[in-house]
Structure 1
Amino acid sequence: MNDTDHAGGTGDTGDPADSGISGTGDTPGTAAGTGTHRPRDRRTTAGTNGTAGGAGTAGTAGTVSRSGTAGRTGVRESCAPESGGPESGGPESGGPVVIVTGGSRGLGRETTLRLAAQGCDLAVCGRDAASLEAVAEEVRARYGRTLHTTRLDVLDESALAAFVRESAARFGRVDGLVTVAGGARGADLRGTEASDWDLTCRLNVTHPAIALREAADHLAGTGGSAVLVSSVSGWKPAPPAQYAAAKAAQIHMAASLARELGPRGVRVNCVSPGSMLIEGKGWARLRDEDPRAYREFEKEFPGGRLVDPRDVAEVIAFLLSDGARAVNGANIPVDSGQNAPSAYGY
């Protein structure tokens, strides 16, 4: 696999220029500008969310809860992609602590910046060292927050579990968990193998389950919560089926885990973004390369424009906050009223 983040599960469905493991929650297997759905070459590369600049400062979502009783130890800043311990000379943690998977690009990056803007310290993982370093530097320069980064693939279940445990140990607490990483592999039904279904499920269902399993005790100690990033494809079906099925399972899993963990004071919710306009990703390329097809796709949105990832990050921040303390087991669509999840219909 390419050395990039698994940063999908963000509802950028039907991204016409990306296939294989998509990093934007897109549904691969569509051909740009054709108006038809057709299989494409299978890839085994991980996509990324891309970037959307200038976010993370506005909003009234409130602050992440710190109502628990767990103790907190001082940690020092670590921006080394594969660091095993905190660097000397960094500031001590002074805010709520949130763990974000796939938090260095696209929606993940916007979520990281939004949470840092409201005073959170963060632990972020991803597959691309440069992106991790860039978001760490931005958080430090703009907000002065502590950001611990780890370079890993969320498909490596032992590494993912270790990342959550080590992050909790560094900060001494966990107040929130956001699982942005995800994606899909394969094309249409005839062009998809059993391994594609398995990998897609592992990215979108197994990875958030493991992260939450490792974080649950810490979240219970702080009265914290988790937000799993699903997709419009999880409840407005569109090909490929393996991605839609995995995202639907993720939504149902969040509701089930909310019932299981609720008695311990832990909330679990899903956010299902619609197709997001992220510079450098498929919808932005469609806009630039086939403006007519892009304008047609915009008609799927009552407001006439695709979703801004910063708006999704605002909802994630709200769900982590005390203002959402009565929201549990919910799936919150953030899709601007989108109709078809793809530019090519169902």
Structure 2
Amino acid sequence: MTTEPRPTAEAPRVAIVTGGSRGIGRESVRRLAADGWSVVVNYAGSAKEAEAAVAEAADAGGRAIAVRADVADEKAVATLFDVAEEEFDGVDAVVHAAGRMYLAPVADVDLDALDALHRTNIRGTFVVAREAARRVRAGGAILLFSTSAIGLAFPNYAPYVASKGAVEAITLILAREMRGRDVTVNAVAPGPTATALFLDGKDEETVARLASQPPLERLGTPADIAEVVAFLASPRGHWVNGQVVRANGGIV
């Protein structure tokens, strides 16, 4: 499904948003579209949710298409970028919001589940970042996703946090490897945010306890994080480079 762009004085900037059918990725699609971006909504599973994200982008004033791809599959990701270039003539930002969560005490870690987590969160980040590093146009941005849980040391989070620690290392090194390309590389590290990924498996008491920890005394929302994404992806945020932005309401 493709939507028509709103009239602009110049060609709109183009973003690929992985994991764009749900949660923070989906809200980032809508927010970028509101700024006039053309967006490629990548998804892994639900075509219905991806098409809903495309419709929301149209309602917000942008243009969007949905493309299915496993972020850990290098051929599928190359095709994802090919489609973006064929449809919109190039790529100015990549927002790599796709990811999965697996929680368990270290003593009880299921190694198959750990491998699946790392395939998406680490290999998938390398695959997407590698393609982005080759194709994002000058003046563009690469945004990866970490987590503020890295600094919070929550029990059971070792598998997930370990994978996001790798993302932060990739971010800092890739930013330096892009010297001379005029492309920024940053990571967004949300704190507890009211998404299905975060809320799944947590009881009301746990959610309330986590919501009370930031000085702002609430969970983050996908819209909170999407505002950070929109800033870092835009020319307004282009002087921010090689950083991990902990968007968490002040939780420490």
Q: TM-score, normalised by structure 1?
A: 0.66
- Quote the Cα distance in structure 2 between the aligned partners of 1:210 and 1:123: 17
- Quote the Cα distance in structure 2 between the aligned partners of 1:294 and 1:140: 33
- 1:43 counterpart residue number: none
- 2:99 counterpart residue number: 182
Divergent runs of 4+, >6 A:
none
Is 1:300 the counterpart of 2:217? The answer is no
- Quote the Cα distance in structure 2 between the aligned partners of 1:256 and 1:274: 23
Is 1:115 the counterpart of 2:14? The answer is no
- Counterparts of 1:184-223 in structure 2, within 5 Å, are 184-185=101-102, 187-219=104-136, 221-223=137-139
- Quote the Cα distance in structure 2 between the aligned partners of 1:193 and 1:284: 18
Deviations 1:151-208 (A, max 9, x none): 2332333212221232123211111000000113462223224333332222122212
2:19 is matched with which residue: 85, 91, 102? 102
In structure 2, relative to structure 1, the CA distance for the partners of 1:92 and 1:334 (3 Å cut) is closer
- 1:132 counterpart residue number: 50
- Quote the Cα distance in structure 2 between the aligned partners of 1:107 and 1:91: 23
What residue ranges of structure 2 are gaps of 5+ in the alignment?
A: none
- Quote the Cα distance in structure 2 between the aligned partners of 1:166 and 1:196: 31
Q: How many aligned positions are there? A: 247
In structure 2, relative to structure 1, the CA distance for the partners of 1:161 and 1:191 (3 Å cut) is farther
2:225 is matched with which residue: 300, 303, 312? 312
- 1:59 counterpart residue number: none
Query: Residue 246 of structure 2: SS of its match in structure 1?
Result: strand
AA paired with 2:145?
V
- Counterparts of 1:62-73 in structure 2, within 5 Å, are none
2:150 is matched with which residue: 210, 234, 238? 234
AA paired with 1:182?
G
Q: TM-score, normalised by structure 2?
A: 0.88
In structure 2, relative to structure 1, the CA distance for the partners of 1:217 and 1:294 (3 Å cut) is closer
Deviations 1:258-316 (A, max 9, x none): 000122211100000001123x6654985xx63x5543333311121111221111011
- 2:59 counterpart residue number: 141
- Quote the Cα distance in structure 1 between the aligned partners of 2:143 and 2:12: 19
- 1:57 counterpart residue number: none
1:256 is matched with which residue: 161, 173, 189? 173
Deviations 1:66-124 (A, max 9, x none): xxxxxxxxxxx637xxxxxxxxxx55993100000001111111100000000000111
Aligned residues of 1:184 and 1:199 also touching (Cα < 8 A) = no
- Quote the Cα distance in structure 2 between the aligned partners of 1:295 and 1:242: 23
- Quote the Cα distance in structure 1 between the aligned partners of 2:48 and 2:99: 19
Deviations 1:117-136 (A, max 9, x none): 00000111112111011111
Higher alpha-carbon Rg: 1
Query: Residue 168 of structure 2: SS of its match in structure 1?
Result: helix
Identity of aligned residues (%): 32
- CA deviation after TM superposition for structure 1 residue 323, in Å: 1.7
1:327 is matched with which residue: 232, 237, 240? 240
Higher-helix-fraction structure = 2
- 1:273 counterpart residue number: 190
